[in-house]
Structures are given as structure tokens and as C-alpha cells.
Amino acid sequence: MKTAIVYYSMHHGNTKKIVDAISKKADVTLIDAAKYSEYDLCCFDRIGFASGIYFQKFSEKVIDFLEQNLPDSKEIFYLYTYGIKRKSYLDAIEEAAKKKHAIVIGAFGCRGFDTFGPFKWIGGIAKGRPDQKDVENAVCFFEEITK
């Protein structure tokens, strides 16, 4: 099955670290949402959407990309990195995916180094994250959903 991961990784490269690790272990097409606003996803069986969390949700670039390019009824999954743990960061992207009748097969999130707003004054939070264990967990998650 062909898999693509659409990602947006700004500031510290937290999300890029996760998607790069997955692409080293599996045949995955990585699509940078900062570089592409249009991409034909029809040939992919499963599509991941990966982002750091910005203002408590996925990047607008990733959400816009999903809304404009995701074909109806595709299998999708989410990968995300965040500074502070919260119940859910998926509301906005799930709403967009629902309109495309997407079949969500899983989500993986882990902490990532964050220097936004007041965190910058203390040198950031979640320093060193995602760490090797986070990366391994992300790869394991991907392997599980693609069996």
C-alpha cells in the first residue's frame, strides 16, 4: 500500500524529526505543506497528516492542505508534537477530515521542544524532545497502523 505523510514543521523541527524517522524505516512519500499547497493524493492508499501544535491545533497549512487535496474516503492518520499535554489537539483537523469522509486509523502525539510566548523567557519547555524514545514510539505506531 502506498503511503504519504503531509507535514508542517516550523521553529525547532520536532515534527520533521518524527516523519524523517518513519521515512527511514518505511517507503513513505513526504510532502511538505509549506512548499506544496496542491498535490494529487489519489494514488496513495493511506495519508498521514503531521504537524506541530500551533495555538492548540494543527497548523493551518496542514488543515488547508487536507481540505483542498484529500480525496473522499481515504484512510488517514495523525502525527503531532506539542509543548504542553492537553486532552486533544485534533478537533479542527478532525472536523476537516469528517467533511471528506476520511477513515481515521490512528493518531500519535508526543512532546516537542517549545519556546513559544512566555516559554521563550525560561529557555523553553520539553527540552530534548522528541527524544529517541518518542521517535521509536512514533515508528512503532506507524508500523502498527500499516500492518
The rounded percent of the chain whose pLDDT value lies above 90 is 62
Enter the C-alpha cell of residue 46: 493511506
Average pLDDT over residues 2-17: 86
36 or 10, which is more confident? 36
Which domains are present in the chain? 3-145 (3.40.50.360)
pLDDT per residue as tens digits for the range 79-125: 999 866 776 788 899 999 999 999 999 999 987 656 455 555 555 54
Cα distances (Å, whole numbers) of residue 78 to 15, 21, 138: 11, 15, 11
Enter the C-alpha cell of residue 122: 525560561
CA distance 141 to 59: 21
| Residue 22 pLDDT > 90 | yes
> What integer best gives the mean pLDDT of the chain?
87
Grid cell 519556546 is found at 115
pLDDT in the model for residue 118: 54
58 or 83, which is more confident? 58
CA distance 100 to 83: 29
- How many degrees, rounded to 5, is the angle at CA 29 between CA 51 and CA 18? 40
Among 46-50, 51-55, 73-77, 89-93, which stretch is predicted with the lowest mean pLDDT?
Answer: 51-55
CA dihedral 86, 91, 92, 97 (to 10 degrees): 140
Q: Which of 19, 5, 100, 88 has its CA nearest to residue 49?
A: 5
77 phi, psi to nearest 5 deg: -145, 165
pLDDT in the model for residue 125: 46
pLDDT in the model for residue 94: 94
| Residue 126 pLDDT > 70 | no
126 or 30, which is more confident? 30
Grid cell 477530515 is found at 97
3-state SS assignment for residue 110? strand
CA distance 69 to 25: 26
